[in-house]
Structure 1
């Protein structure tokens, strides 16, 4: 908004060191007062080494960041402002493709093997091939045998130079006098051939311009709210102590909410029950690999709920760990422990922390271990206690405390928006994909649970991106901005039937269950955009909108003639239901497209009627319609695949909302679409199934997963197991699994190892 100052409406916001800087708060880079929350800058700028400046990390909406990088190049010149480089190293799939090609193995086999492999270390290639169908017997053949033998040697070996997503090095003197600079793969960008560690060693000034999809979402939602209400929403001045928002978070209703939407975060937030921004920082910081490596999450939650007392292995820990109940949650605390327990200097403590994250660091860690034990002994710490403290250090990632506070604020703002403005929240979420943990189908289902309908694209109503439509009193849809009415709904994710409604004995129709569960009717809708349709890009969407300015399309021929889109695009629009408002029979629409379409630059067709050439075609059935929409858009706006599958399942299969009522230890048989797989630290496998009523969290023990691994990789699975309740969380421990296939193209799961 050009009418506002940068301080009033900053284009981005800080994370990390800039949140610890008082000046960052005063100029609007951060919404956190570092004095109020006692945030330290020492992790970024040790007091014994003041000759370097800390890295400044700034998050921007995606639309701003790209232009910002180019403007920085232009303002300072490519000799003085360049992007940091990265060193891309080999992992298992890259090794298979490059080494396999060098060994002369068939390219089709290489590609097929690479697609079957999990992302990870190339050292596991032999065990992965032993499980891959069609490749077990190849392991002893010439060429393939060499691939298996040589793969571990290439693991983590440098593969090529890349570019940092936004790390900008800025210098007052030409960087080309110090480090090689090359053109980037993206036009207008320049990259130096040093990575961030070398840049840090050289003492360069580095500012990270980072793109954060959530900021794009918040920016778009705020703009739509202003358009609909006439009032500007200042997210920095909302109520950060709103109990209703915290109640929603504590219930686990966090799909689409920044930093707290993963299954692990859902399991944690329902036990932590945050009530303020400090709790939000702890929530965001707790679910990190470095915290989980020492069972820190469980320990912190046990102490927070007073099931365990707050204890310290030595009184010297208290200063560093008191605010997190004696548990290490943040990088800053690792440094402070080394300072207080072993007498390290601030810079030495930070070097030790960084050493844990380096490869081939055994000798380096042994050096710091000796130094730590000697320093602790000099301070009177018993050897056993010192060893226990040192074991709390690891090379897994943790947030700095200021970083956690920055993300905690953004997470709360996202939750506040979802609670008070769900329509605009989901609009921004749909338009800013890809982002987050879930596919569009899962987001659509969550929107339904919040009273927000998702409508198919329409050639006369859609735009390039999604838009809001509201149902007026007349029953006709109103366009965006015609009504300021806001919907309000309090709809927790799991205990949906707790709102004074008796659980039915039979499964009602899907539309009925969604309305009954939420207690609200659809009073706002999102119309899917043209760009949600496969094969339809920005240029085609703009062509359709431009043609529509002369009036709405009246029939298929009118659309083809005025829009000029390709036949494939028109057919995909038909599969997506975009012609339903003028012809409900999609088979008939596709037939007519085939009759009327003429390629560009071909002879124009005479405007003759074609109705006589269209045979009597029956309308497609529900399954054909559903398959077409999943294939073309990745979602089925009017329902869910499991709702159509439910009649084919036996009576022993339970729905997600029924499982949410079962007691601890109850036996479960369930089926659904896999939307997530996660295996932290290579241990327990966590998965999430989705059915037409909600989500089913699964836990799979390693032996069970290894036994049925290829079944678990299927898009649809049926599982047997038992319910396990722990501290307010609910999971199904899987004991058996069967895979089944309904459709070839389904929403893809999000998998993290």
Structure 2
């Protein structure tokens, strides 16, 4: 096992910054013998769940963190040591978006004081507030900020982050930071500000920075990193760089011991609670709603209906799903209100006759769902079996109930759900927009300075979705075949192969929504959507 691990690492979820996938970073960390690895993407936790699960599968301890942008543009590295620390991290990232700008999140440093519990603070890269002050010779201001951090987080949770990327100014800054640490009784820690898993990937990172700034490589000398040193380095390489400060290397293992929180294990999930009228339990209230609807629909609770409901209620109790079903019922009621307000249905028409949504999938086999408006299909009429949706055995995951609401009520319904539950407890599911062939051609082509007309022609003619097949596509196009090995174009094809499938950014899922009985922002950061009045969580619907 290596005696060093990386605590400042960006994946491709640092959009247009990180040039390696989570899988690539973890596989390389395993090769280097790292016992743990931290993921500290810029201003988001979009890849945190994927990272935690993948790390555990490789027997690497996952440390969840984030490099947040503070007001004024400086950076700060935060690591979740405990479950409370993870909740505070989610709240801080959320605050950076909600009280900043959607495309330019900036965290008010004053919020750190009330959200320091369970977090480990590293002072950040060369663009961190303290390192920047030190580089400018403003030692009094740097000392004052460190004293605040020490008071808020405790001296055992504040580390002066040292980065030796062989860039002019690194050595003098490290010396000054070490001096501040000795003066204030704070430890130092070595990190490498990793943006790619191996040195060779710096070519893609340069292009991503150019893409981010909508410029070519030639126009982004100032924005791009000064060299190719920002990769996952071995313990031996890092020990050589910090030979005179071995305690900074040792601190990486100490911090890993402090960070006991494991997102793949410690987050947990409990079904939403639901407040019912006095005198009712959740089960009894759900039964009453179904019996009333059965009388309206069938004229009476017939033996066939009673037998099916008894079977379903038994399974609902067994799997503790009553509150879960009632929450769906509540959303359906909101949809019903929207339909009535828009004049799409008469208030007197029973909900089971004109449900606001249309069920699909295995959930339509449930009579309870039909009676409370979750489906327009009567399972008794069509002889649908319940086994696939509600099995006798233990549930492997939360039941999947799909509700398709028509476009003419969906927009207003989303706003009403936000209003009822609050933006901190209800959010739209995130959706990652990823690079495919056409986007890779256009973005990389511009970054590489290739002729715009040829880029446009290639992007329009390409048929494959995968950017990894672009070389084959180009060789099949007579007017472009000769360009495949030409300078610039060869680079485009090679870089597109690496870029394929990379996330470009977080967007709003067209229909998925999360409603939580406890503050959602204790589990995942939430940020404003591009559409006013909507909020999205930073996890893709497939995050697991």
TM-score bucket of the superposed structures, by smaller chain: 0.3 to 0.5
Q: TM-score, normalised by structure 1?
A: 0.25
Q: Which one has more relative contact order, counting CA pairs under 8 Å at least 6 apart?
A: 2
What TM-score does the superposition give when structure 2 sets the normalisation length? Answer: 0.34
